[in-house]
Chains A and B, each alone.
Chain A
Amino acid sequence: MGFFHRHRGLTPYLLLAPGILWLAVFFVVPLGFLAYQSLETGNIDFGYAFNWAWGNYSTAIRQYRPQFIRSLEYAGIATLLALVFGYPVAYWIAFRGGRWKNLLLLGIVAPFFVTYLIRTLAWQSILSDNGFVVRTLHQLHLLGSDGRLLNTSVAVVAGITYNFLPFMVLPLYVSLEQIDGRMIEAAEDLYASKLHAFLRVTLPLSLPGVVAGTLLTFIPAAGDFINAQLLGSPNNHMIGNVIQSKFLELTDYPAAAAMSFILMAAILVAVMVYARLVGTEQLTGTAV
């Protein structure tokens, strides 16, 4: 059976090696620089010096707690919306797509071919105060007569949801497509209703996809800044915006670095709580 069989213990490491090495060099090392920077003090005029400045962290949490929390909120809502709206479509493509599956998948990803800025400008056009959408909402009294959609938290969350939909739908599809149609038929024969069959069989089998999609949506969304910048008003800004301004306008690199680590820690905690909820084997991959 050859090399791999004899060296079973070695196989996982060989498989991991190229990718992990890439990440180790081009991510972990830079992260090390970032960590170093987060403990520096100073300013652009006179330079920065390493100082074990843990104060950067405590100041960041103290000053920007609302933005941290808001980011997790917005990302959480967007993820939930993406899941609820995206699941049926992933299901449809997986089971009804037939030979058009790949084409449909491409359709999901297609908006990304038009740069973020251009598609957001298009949305600004569509959701314009005087546009068809807003006027209809006014007429249906779903929106106050001087209400608007743009530059609100609704717009920011909607923007995040829209832009992360592919990250939710594709992993969902990947997991759903694997389910044998006959298993669903059998389930439908056994259970009283299709809904029941879905809940008892399909949904649990698609859980890896749900977990994957949730992670790929929530984690990057929490650090997003661009939706808040273009679609929000000053009190909708997320922690990503603050980190951005710390880095660029204030040239306060230590603060930006410290805040990034706090964000990463917060996300990690959220993910671990989530893992407890769904069961760790979904996260780690095998029922060990």
Chain B
Amino acid sequence: MSAVAVDQQAPRRNPLVAALAFAKRHVLTVYSLLFFAYLLLPIGVVVVFSFNHPSGKFNYVWQGFTWNNWIHWDGVPGIRSAIVLSLEVALIASVVATALGTLIALALVRYSFRTRAATNILIFLPLSTPEIVLGASLLTLFLNLSFVTFGLWTILIAHIMFCISFAVVTVKARLVGFDRHLEEAAMDLGANEWTTFHKVTLPLIAPAILAALLLCFAISIDDFVVTYFNSGNRVTFPLFVWGAARIGAPPQVNVIGTAIFVVALTAMLVNVLLQARRSKGAA
């Protein structure tokens, strides 16, 4: 007998019991909302300070409200090219790393082959290598290849390299415990391997791929050390911020951080609303 059935048969509910039941049902939601509040608390501070009008170059003490920073968001030299570069790299690196990582995850989970254990270890190694030596030794490799010029490509290569492991582990979490019966059913019904893969498997692991994309994007857009060593004289957003912080990161840095956050959120929101409309239309 489920607890719900018992409740419904009870004649009249004591308001306290009802309140308690309400709380129990919603404790998870309340907790999660608190969690998000905690997670986004610093973001809140960042957003607030993006409207600050600092009297010096340091943006630590609230001095007064202004729209200026938003209007002149690229009023600081170098900030625009930095964020554009970071976004480019993050987008490309997350897509490529997730693609490569998904393939590896598929191989690791579904097939048994001789070098499987070694491959697993190889995947973990980049995660465990301290960034500074990771960046520096990649730099050494590039220096030994005389045709390499430092810039977008070297940054991209580095980012893809350290993102692959994250993508593999994330997608693997989905593939382990994946119900193969659905695929077998599809193939019994006449689909070949490729059709099965792209009409059955892929949609089912889509959440994992999205999660991997998000994770890789976040890692890439925030990376500092490895990028620093392999960027030549290009400057990404984190590099810019670290450099600027020496004399005082201008409020425009807050503006850009907020903007990315808002744009991404809006994009997702639009996506959700569109999907809702689509499914309503279909129904």
Check A-B contact in the complex, CB < 8 A.
Answer: yes
Chain A: residues with CB nearer than 8 A to chain B? 1-2, 4-5, 9, 11-13, 15-16, 18-20, 22-23, 26-31, 33-34, 37, 85, 88-89, 91-93, 96, 99-123, 125-126, 162, 165-167, 170-171, 173-175, 177-178, 188-189, 193-194, 205, 208-209, 211-213, 215-216, 219-220, 222-223, 225, 239-240, 243-244, 247-248, 253, 256-257, 260, 263-264, 267-268, 271, 281-286, 288
A272 to chain B, nearest CB (A): 10
Inter-subunit contact B130/A212 (CB<8 Å): no
B161-181: contact bitstring with A at CB < 8 Å (1 yes, 0 no)?
100101011111111111000
List 21 A-B pairs, Cβ < 8 Å: A19-B168, A26-B157, A27-B161, A85-B35, A99-B275, A102-B210, A102-B268, A106-B214, A108-B39, A108-B214, A110-B40, A119-B43, A122-B41, A170-B215, A171-B173, A174-B171, A177-B207, A178-B174, A189-B2, A225-B131, A284-B108
Inter-subunit contact A106/B265 (CB<8 Å): yes
B173 to chain A, nearest CB (A): 4
Report Cα–Cα, A177/B209, bound state, in Å: 13
Residue of A nearest to B275 (CB): A99
Residues of A within 8 A of B161 (CB): 22-23, 26-27
Partner of A107, one of B36, B105, B208, B257: B36
Report Cα–Cα, A102/B271, bound state, in Å: 9
Known contacts A30-B140, A244-B132: does B175 contact A285 (CB below 8 Å)?
yes
Inter-subunit contact A29/B265 (CB<8 Å): no
Q: Other than the known A12-B110, A174-B211, A285-B108, what 8 A-B pairs have Cβ atoms closer than 8 Å?
A: A15-B111, A170-B170, A209-B173, A212-B172, A216-B166, A216-B169, A225-B130, A225-B131
What is the total of A-B residue contacts with beta carbons within 8 Å?
Answer: 312
If over half of A's interface residues share one DSSP class (helix, strand or loop), that class is named, otherwise mixed; here it is: helix
Partner of A118, one of B46, B120, B140, B271: B46
Inter-subunit contact B28/A91 (CB<8 Å): yes
Residue of A nearest to B173 (CB): A212
Interface-located stretch among B7-15, B63-71, B235-243: B235-243
Inter-subunit contact A125/B45 (CB<8 Å): yes
Known contacts A19-B101, A165-B39: does B141 contact A29 (CB below 8 Å)?
yes
Most chain B beta-carbon neighbours within 10 Å: one of A27, A116, A257, A284: A27
Inter-subunit contact B133/A1 (CB<8 Å): no
Residue of B nearest to A215 (CB): B169
Report Cα–Cα, A211/B119, bound state, in Å: 17
Report Cα–Cα, A97/B123, bound state, in Å: 31
Residues of A within 8 A of B192 (CB): 1-2
Known contacts A15-B106, A102-B210, A114-B46: does B112 contact A247 (CB below 8 Å)?
no
Report Cα–Cα, A112/B257, bound state, in Å: 9
Give chain B's interface residue range (CB within 8 Å of chain A): 35 or more
B79 to chain A, nearest CB (A): 12
Residues of A within 8 A of B130 (CB): 223, 225, 239-240, 243-244, 260, 263
Closest 6 CB pairs of A and B: A114-B257, A122-B42, A19-B100, A112-B218, A30-B137, A12-B111
Residues of B within 8 A of A106 (CB): 214, 264-265, 268
Residues of B within 8 A of A5 (CB): 193
Partner of B125, one of A166, A248, A264: A264
Residues of A within 8 A of B129 (CB): 31, 223, 260, 264
